[in-house]
Amino acid sequence: MKGIYTTWTLQYLALCVIAVMFCSTQGSVRTSNQDVELGGNVTLRCTSLQHSNIYQITWTKKKKGNDENIATYKEDTGSTVLKYKDRINFIVWSLHDTAINLLNVSTEDNGCYECAFLLFPEGPIKGQPCLSVYDDLKTSTDYNISDNHLHANCLSTGFPRPNISWFPSGGVKKEKDITNPNGTLSVISNIFVSMSNVKQGLTCHISHRGKMISIEVLKKEKERTKKDFPVIPVVLALILVILVIVVGVCCWRRQRKKHRGF
């Protein structure tokens, strides 16, 4: 019995040691996510909460299929930047504190990265800071009316992809996506609708990074009627009439003075 208890005790202790080692490699890296505007600079940092037994640091870019190795630091050979050498500064303050500084950020830099601290004999502990690249929206709208139907366009360019919707939502809608040379995305939304369905106006709604922008493409029918009133021609006509009257009065007075002189 004593031998059995001893065996069980040893197994229990071994399991405890393994559990402690496993737990110590999970959630032991402090990271923070970052937002950066397209073309800007940003720093992603990882700090290991475990300071001992680290002999190597690696950074990788998470990609579907195959992750991309970016940089490595080894205690005996120092640091090596494997990708984007002209755009990345690899920083190692210590074996438990590291960062990568990305310069002139592009849309391809968007996504998550992995930092790994290799410990002996425990194995790697990992962190995953994520980078959100954005570009502010650029928008434009136009429309034309023909045969009592409205054809309107709403264009929005930005990154990540903007989403476009219409109010009211009736009519025939088409949408087209364009990827620009700098990686930003342009969305062109068209709507073809009867004028009777847009008496309350037509609005293009654009959602981007949790924010909503509303652009009034066509005003309400009552406001359009007011707007269509020819204010400028009427004002010009009134000014012309006043000028004619003033000139006429001046001429009449001059003629009157001449007659009195005779």
Residue 222, pLDDT score: 62
Does the structure show a pLDDT above 80 at 257?
no
Architecture (CATH level 2) of domain 136-218 = Sandwich (2.60)
Q: Token digits for 180?
A: 């620009």
Instruction: Tell whether domain 28-128 is in CATH 2.160.20.10.
Output: no
What are the backbone angles phi and psi of residue 72, rounded to the nearest 5°?
-140, 140
* C-alpha to C-alpha distances, 123 to 24, 26, 64, 120, nearest whole angstrom: 10, 11, 24, 6
pLDDT value, residue 2: 45
- The residue behind tokens 């195959």 is 66
| Model pLDDT, residue 16 | 40
pLDDT in tens, 57-75: 999 999 987 899 999 999 8
Comparison of pLDDT for 244 and 36, the residue scoring more? 36
Do 28-128 and 136-218 show the same overall fold?
Answer: yes
Domains of the chain, residue spans: 28-128, 136-218
Convert the pLDDT of each residue in 94-139 to its tens digit.
999 999 999 999 999 999 999 999 998 889 999 999 999 999 999 9
Q: What is the pTM of this model?
A: 0.71
Q: What are phi and psi of 64, to 5 degrees?
A: -65, 130
65: tokens are: 């299929």
Task: Give the range among 130-134, 216-220, 255-259 with minimum mean pLDDT.
Answer: 255-259
> Residue 218: which pLDDT band, with cuts at 50, 70 and 90?
very high
